[in-house]
């Protein structure tokens, strides 16, 4: 997830598409901050823990509505808006804004902390057609076109183009800096 809290340590993002925080099957993504003792985790009571429950994550990105399955694909670390903070990308392969299971990918501009609903995203890539499953895979691509902004890719494995090209799939490349 890049360094969301700008402490000099890398953070991680974990997708949980079956999470029900925003409705049954809404999905979520969890960001856990790294640190100098990131190999040691501390429970809420301050004692050393073997594991950390995701409910204790430093940022929780909640899917917009039931059956979106947000977090099935996550990526982060690039600075899409060039503000000095890393951004993250959360895929929701069965999001329905552009048609049943058209899918979407939400760009969440960092820094991120606390609980945030994906509906607050300032930028989203929607599927083109029902059933495209856009957001089934996502990746931050670095600066693909050399303009100084982070770029990203969104997979749509079941994208159709007309009636002749059914489920051919596509990778959508989106340049940052808008």
Average pLDDT of adjacent 10-residue blocks, the chain of 178 residues: 90 95 96 73 64 85 96 93 92 94 95 95 92 96 87 94 86 88
Predicted local distance difference test score (pLDDT) of residue 48: 65
Predicted local distance difference test score (pLDDT) of residue 137: 97
Q: What percent of the chain is helix, strand and coil (3-state, nearest 5)?
A: 5, 40, 60
- pTM exceeds 0.85, yes or no: yes
CA distance 76 to 141: 9
CA distance 104 to 97: 8
Tokens of residue 72, six digits: 């099935």
The answer to whether the CB of 43 falls within 8 A of the CB of 75 is no
Predicted local distance difference test score (pLDDT) of residue 167: 87
- Cα distances (Å, whole numbers) of residue 23 to 15, 57, 78, 101, 131: 16, 19, 29, 16, 21
Tokens of residue 109, six digits: 């501009």
Predicted local distance difference test score (pLDDT) of residue 11: 92
Q: Give me the helices (H) in the chain, please.
A: none
pLDDT tens sequence across 119-129: 999 899 999 99
Predicted local distance difference test score (pLDDT) of residue 77: 86
The residue whose two tokens read 């429950």 is: 53
| CB neighbours of residue 135 within 10 Å | 32
The answer to whether the CB of 70 falls within 8 A of the CB of 30 is no
Predicted local distance difference test score (pLDDT) of residue 51: 72
pLDDT tens sequence across 80-93: 988 999 999 999 99
Predicted local distance difference test score (pLDDT) of residue 53: 79
User: Cα–chain-centroid distance for residue 35?
Assistant: 22
Predicted local distance difference test score (pLDDT) of residue 138: 97
The answer to whether the CB of 138 falls within 8 A of the CB of 152 is yes
Predicted local distance difference test score (pLDDT) of residue 94: 95
């Amino acid at each position: 997830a890049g360094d969301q809290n700008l402490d000099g340590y890398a953070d991680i993002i974990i997708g949980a598409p079956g999470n029900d925080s925003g409705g049954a099957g809404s999905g979520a993504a969890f960001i856990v901050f790294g640190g100098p003792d990131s190999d040691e985790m501390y429970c809420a009571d301050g004692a050393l823990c073997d594991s950390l429950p995701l409910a204790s994550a430093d940022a929780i990105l909640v899917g917009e509505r039931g059956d979106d399955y947000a977090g099935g694909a996550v990526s982060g670390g690039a600075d899409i808006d060039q503000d000095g903070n890393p951004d993250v990308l959360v895929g929701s392969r069965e999001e329905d804004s552009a048609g049943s299971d058209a899918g979407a990918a939400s760009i969440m501009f960092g820094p991120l902390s606390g609980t945030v609903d994906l509906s607050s995203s300032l930028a989203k890539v929607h599927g083109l057609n029902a059933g495209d499953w856009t957001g089934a895979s996502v990746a931050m691509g670095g600066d693909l076109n050399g303009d100084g902004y982070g770029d990203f890719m969104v997979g749509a494995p079941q994208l159709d183009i007309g009636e002749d090209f059914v489920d051919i799939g596509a990778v959508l490349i989106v340049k940052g800096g808008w």
